[in-house]
């Protein structure tokens, strides 16, 4: 149980385009999901907390207009990187909360050329 999927697993895009990443809880409902960013050989950095039916809460320094988060249902949250630039290239990981525990997706590798 508590399986979280992400799609796509990797994506390459041109600078200036937008990329949407989906995070799904497959066998449970999650009112709260989280989006993290991980740079090579570093820990996870929380970007935002996504709450079903309401606006996401962004961490300090994360541009909400650049990283659009939508949590339209109890099993799906999406992260859209708008007007992506090479510095947005990273590993993006989502998680879904069950009680006190977060269950993580497999991550999405984004490369912006």
Partner 1 sequence: AQSVTQLDSHVSVSEGTPVLLRCNYSSSYSPSLFWYVQHPNKGLQLLLKYTSAATLVKGINGFEAEFKKSETSFHLTKPSAHMSDAAEYFCGGGSQGNLIFGKGTKLSVKP
Min CB(92)–partner 1 separation in Å: 10
Nearer to partner 1, 28 or 91 (CB): 91
Nearer to partner 1, 28 or 103 (CB): 103
Compute how many other C-beta atoms are within 10 angstroms of the C-beta atom of residue 36.
21
Nearer to partner 1, 19 or 95 (CB): 95
Quick check: helix, strand or coil at residue 112? strand
Min CB(16)–partner 1 separation in Å: 26
Nearer to partner 1, 49 or 89 (CB): 49
Q: Where are the beta strands (DSSP E) in the chain?
A: 4-7, 10-13, 19-25, 32-38, 44-51, 57-58, 67-73, 76-81, 90-98, 101-104, 108-112
Using CB under 8 A as the criterion, which residues of the chain lie in contact with partner 1 when the complex forms?
4, 6, 32, 34, 42-44, 46, 49, 91, 93, 95, 97, 99-107, 109
Min CB(44)–partner 1 separation in Å: 5
Both tokens assigned to 62: 């994360």
CA 47 to chain centroid: 8
């Amino acid at each position: 149980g508590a399986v979280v999927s992400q799609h796509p697993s990797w994506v390459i895009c041109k600078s200036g385009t937008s990329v949407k990443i989906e995070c799904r809880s497959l066998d449970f409902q999650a009112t709260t999901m989280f989006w993290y960013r991980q740079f090579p050989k570093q820990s996870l950095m929380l970007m935002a907390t996504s709450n079903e039916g309401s606006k996401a809460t962004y961490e300090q320094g994360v541009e909400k207009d650049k990283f659009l988060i939508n949590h339209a249902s109890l099993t799906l949250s999406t992260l859209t990187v708008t007007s992506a630039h090479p510095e947005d290239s990273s590993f993006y990981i989502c998680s879904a909360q069950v009680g006190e525990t977060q269950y993580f997706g497999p991550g999405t590798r984004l490369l912006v050329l």
